[in-house]
């Protein structure tokens, strides 16, 4: 059994400390996800009740001194994630109200509305905002659909006149195509016949798509961004409830990772994704 409790302390309790910089913000999200995942690990088959308390500042709910007024918005991170109901962003990072600025859209696609929302956060919440996160997730339905269209183009025909769905698929197909080329150049053309090829292509595309989203945001906000604002990416694994982010020189890739700084580093990351334990194990099936 387990309890996840959102606990409001007394009205005069000190406010929960907020991350002072991007490194502290990254640490807080990483620890929050680690605690969430560990809580569920501990609860499996245990006779004792596992418990995680997420402190909530009553002032963030409009209570306390100056009650009745709307609280100021002061998130320390902006997170772009998928709409998938299995990936509740505040919950998986052990965060509460007024902690994270959340944008969720199917396939965590970086459209103009999403970018506009992020720009709003950067322009208006820069006093508290330290981190931008792009979070994909394993088994993403949007990416899976794009992979299946790529592997079997006839599946595109029923979608050809559905412009709203096509907008999502079309933007993902580029990443899927690039991932497929990368897999074939790394493992040879025969790799497409392996039983695990489709699953590996889906998961490699999900990781590449999250990293590319973060990279694009970093390039887009460019020089206008506050100096201490960092952009990171990751993939939430539904099966382990942990965030995974393949990176150069790390085959395991636990937790969120810094986005590559330039095109050359991004190309290196593409290779690292395929060399990761997760993708290698899918291809080895
Ligand atoms: Zn998804």
Sign of CA dihedral 29, 206, 37, 254: negative
Distance 84 CA to ligand 1 centre (A): 5
- In the reported structure, the alpha carbon of residue 91 is separated from the centroid of ligand 1 by a whole-number distance in angstroms of 16
Give the Cα-Cα-Cα angle 262, 263, 267 (nearest 5 degrees). Answer: 120
Find the 109 Cα to ligand 1 centroid distance in Å.
Answer: 10
**Interval 251-264: pLDDT, tens:** 888 999 999 989 99
Start-to-end CA distance of the chain, whole Å, equals 34
Say what the pLDDT of residue 225 is: 81
| pLDDT for residue 256 | 96
What is residue 247's DSSP assignment?
B
Structure tokens at 181: 């080329």
Residues 76, 84: Cα–Cα separation, whole Å: 23
**C-alpha 171 to ligand 1 mean position (Å):** 14
107 CA distance to ligand 1 middle (Å): 5
Ligand 1 center from residue 140 Cα (angstroms): 4
Query: Given this model, what pLDDT does residue 59 score?
Result: 86
Q: For each of the chain's 285 residues, which pLDDT tens digit applies?
A: 788 999 987 777 777 889 999 999 999 999 999 999 998 887 776 677 888 899 998 888 888 766 677 889 999 999 999 999 999 999 999 999 999 999 999 999 999 999 999 999 999 999 999 999 999 999 999 999 999 999 999 888 888 888 888 889 999 999 999 999 999 999 999 999 999 999 999 999 999 999 999 999 999 887 778 888 999 999 999 999 999 999 998 888 899 999 998 999 999 999 999 999 999 999 988
Output the CA 7–ligand 1 centroid distance in Å: 30
Q: 137 CA to middle of ligand 1, Å?
A: 6
Q: How far is the CA of 37 from the centre of ligand 1 (A)?
A: 19
What pLDDT is stored for residue 184 in this prediction?
Answer: 95
CB of 282 closer than 8 Å to CB of 194: no
With beta carbons less than 8 A apart as the criterion, state whether 232 and 257 touch.
Answer: yes
All residues at 6 or more sequence positions from 31 whose CB lies less than 8 Å from its CB, including other chains: 94
Give the side-chain half-sphere CA count within 13 A for 125.
Answer: 22
Residue 105 CA to ligand 1 centre (angstroms): 8
Q: Mind giving me the DSSP string for 172-232?
A: HHHHHHHHHHHHHHHH-GGGGGSTTHHHHHHHHHHHHHHHHHHHHHHHHHGGGS-TT-EEE
Distance 262 CA to ligand 1 centre (A): 27
Instruction: Give the strand pairing for 77-81 and 131-137.
Output: parallel
**Encoding tokens for residue 135?**
């979070």
pLDDT value of position 58: 86
CA distance 74 to 255: 24
User: Which tokens go with 64?
Assistant: 């306390």
């Amino acid at each position: 059994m387990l309890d996840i409790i959102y606990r409001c302390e007394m009205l005069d309790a000190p406010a929960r400390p907020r991350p002072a910089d991007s490194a502290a913000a990254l640490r807080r999200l990483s620890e929050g996800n680690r605690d969430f995942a560990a809580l569920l690990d501990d609860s499996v088959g245990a006779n004792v009740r596992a418990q995680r308390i997420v402190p909530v500042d009553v002032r963030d709910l409009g209570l306390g001194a100056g009650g009745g007024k709307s609280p100021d918005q002061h998130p320390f991170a902006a997170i772009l994630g998928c709409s998938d109901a299995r990936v509740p962003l505040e919950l998986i990072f052990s965060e509460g109200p007024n902690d994270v600025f959340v944008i969720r859209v199917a396939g965590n696609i970086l459209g103009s509305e999403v970018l506009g929302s992020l720009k709003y956060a950067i322009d208006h919440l820069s006093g508290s905002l330290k981190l931008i996160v792009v979070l994909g997730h394993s088994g993403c339905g949007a990416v899976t659909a794009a992979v299946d269209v790529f592997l079997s183009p006839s599946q595109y025909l029923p979608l050809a006149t559905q412009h709203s769905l096509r907008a999502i698929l079309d933007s993902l197909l580029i990443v899927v195509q690039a991932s497929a080329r990368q897999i074939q150049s790394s493992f040879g053309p025969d790799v497409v016949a392996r039983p695990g090829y489709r699953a590996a292509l889906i998961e490699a595309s999900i990781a590449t798509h999250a990293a590319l989203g973060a990279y694009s945001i970093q390039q887009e906000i460019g020089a206008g961004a506050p100096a201490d604002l960092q952009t990171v990416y990751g993939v939430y694994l539904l099966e382990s409830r942990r965030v995974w982010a393949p990176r150069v020189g790390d085959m395991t890739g636990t937790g969120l990772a810094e986005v590559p700084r330039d095109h050359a580093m991004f190309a290196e990351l593409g290779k690292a994704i395929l060399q990761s334990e997760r993708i290698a194990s899918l291809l080895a099936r």
